């Protein structure tokens, strides 16, 4: 707020600082980074972007601080951050229903050809979405699809409904009766009731002939090759003939 007041009207927190204000799980930002529509002043220790196309409709407030909207933040973020961070913020905000695919595509169309740095990154991230127009229930659920696709593993069905079990799986290979679940640490331990329900649900799936693989957000982010290998080997066991019984 001090920086915004010092730089005057038309200033808003933006880029990485805006991501920090809006919030992305596990992301922390100590940068002082803002955008201005008019000629940018300079303050030591503050990153100031000149953004001639910054309009009042692109700015809102978080805790009283003017900040670029989530959609505009994703456009700007590509100019200063790698694709993976743009994709991570986008998928989390999509999962939380804070932005939509239609809004992001409209933003790409609006800013294309206007010299807005970062719009190309957002366009690329959207075009490379493995889920295309489908929205995951969490950022890490979307990450699983990307992990498998980039490693050549056949893509499972997303949000598959299992008849007779009253279960919607995160992902599934229905023909092989293989279920894949993505476990966020906080989500599945949020209450004793949720913990018990997850165990009951998995038991019902096993009884119905399904085999279940479970992956955590830590495994997907830090051991993606291991995740892809385990899915591949599970698929292989479903297509390979059974081993002969020892005599």
Q: What is the mean pLDDT of residues 105-123?
A: 87
* Res 190: pLDDT: 55
* Res 26: pLDDT: 87
Residue 103 shares a structural domain with residue 172: no
Residue 92 shares a structural domain with residue 195: no
Residue 246 domain-assigned? no
Residue 134 domain-assigned? no
Beta carbons within 8 Å of 198's beta carbon, 6+ residues apart = 188
Average pLDDT value over all residues in the chain = 89
Q: What is the mean pLDDT of residues 123-137?
A: 94
Q: Tell me which H or E stretch contains 47.
A: strand 47-50
Q: Which residues pair with 11 in a beta bridge?
A: 36
Residue 177 shares a structural domain with residue 207: yes
pLDDT band at 246 (very low <50, low <70, confident <90, very high): low
Residue 144 shares a structural domain with residue 122: no
CB-facing half-sphere around the CA of 75: CA atoms within 13 A: 26
Cβ neighbours around 27 below 10 Å, total: 14
* Res 40: pLDDT: 67
From residue 142, alpha-carbon distances to 149, 174, 247 in Å are 11, 19, 46
Q: What percent of the chain has pLDDT over 90?
A: 70
Residue 153 domain-assigned? yes
Picking from 74, 93, 127, the residue at the C-terminal end of a domain is: 127
Q: Tell me which H or E stretch contains 71.
A: helix 70-77
Picking from 58, 93, 127, the residue at the C-terminal end of a domain is: 127
- Cα 121 to its chain centre, rounded Å, is 15
Picking from 127, 159, 180, the residue at the C-terminal end of a domain is: 127
Instruction: Say how many domains are in the chain.
Output: 2
Residue 72 domain-assigned? yes
Q: Which domain holds residue 209?
A: 139-239
Residue 244 domain-assigned? no
Residue 247 domain-assigned? no
- The residue length of the chain stands at 247
* Res 247: pLDDT: 47
Phi-psi region of 242 (alpha: psi -120 to 50; beta: other; left: phi over 0): beta
* Res 185: pLDDT: 56
Residue 245 domain-assigned? no
pLDDT digits (tens, 9 = 90+) for 36-83: 987 767 889 999 998 888 888 999 999 999 999 999 999 999 999 999
Whole-structure pTM value: 0.84
Q: What gap in Å lies between CA 195 and CA 187, rounded to an integer?
A: 9
Residue 163 confidence (pLDDT) above 80: yes
């Amino acid at each position: 707020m001090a920086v915004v007041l010092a730089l005057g009207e038309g200033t808003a927190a933006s880029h990485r600082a805006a991501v920090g204000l809006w919030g992305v799980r596990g992301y922390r930002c100590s940068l002082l980074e803002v955008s201005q529509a008019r000629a940018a002043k300079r303050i030591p220790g503050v990153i100031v972007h000149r953004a001639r196309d910054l309009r009042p409709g692109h700015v809102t407030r978080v805790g009283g601080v003017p900040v670029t909207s989530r959609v505009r933040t994703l456009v700007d973020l590509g100019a200063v951050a790698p694709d993976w961070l743009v994709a991570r913020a986008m998928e989390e905000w999509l999962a939380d229903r804070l932005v939509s695919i239609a809004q992001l595509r409209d933003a790409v169309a609006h800013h294309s050809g206007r010299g807005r740095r970062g719009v190309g990154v957002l366009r690329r991230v959207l075009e490379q979405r493995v889920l295309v127009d489908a929205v995951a229930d969490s950022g890490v659920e979307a990450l699983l699809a990307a992990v498998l696709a980039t490693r050549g593993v056949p893509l499972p069905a997303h949000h598959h409904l299992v008849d007779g079990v009253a279960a919607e799986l995160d992902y599934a290979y229905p023909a092989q009766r293989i279920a894949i679940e993505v476990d966020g640490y906080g989500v599945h331990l949020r209450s004793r009731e949720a913990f018990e329900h997850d165990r009951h649900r998995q038991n019902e799936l096993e009884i119905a002939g399904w085999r279940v693989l479970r992956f955590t957000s830590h495994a997907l982010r830090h051991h993606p090759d291991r995740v892809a290998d385990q899915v591949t080997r599970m698929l292989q066991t479903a297509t390979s003939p059974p081993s002969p019984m020892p005599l």
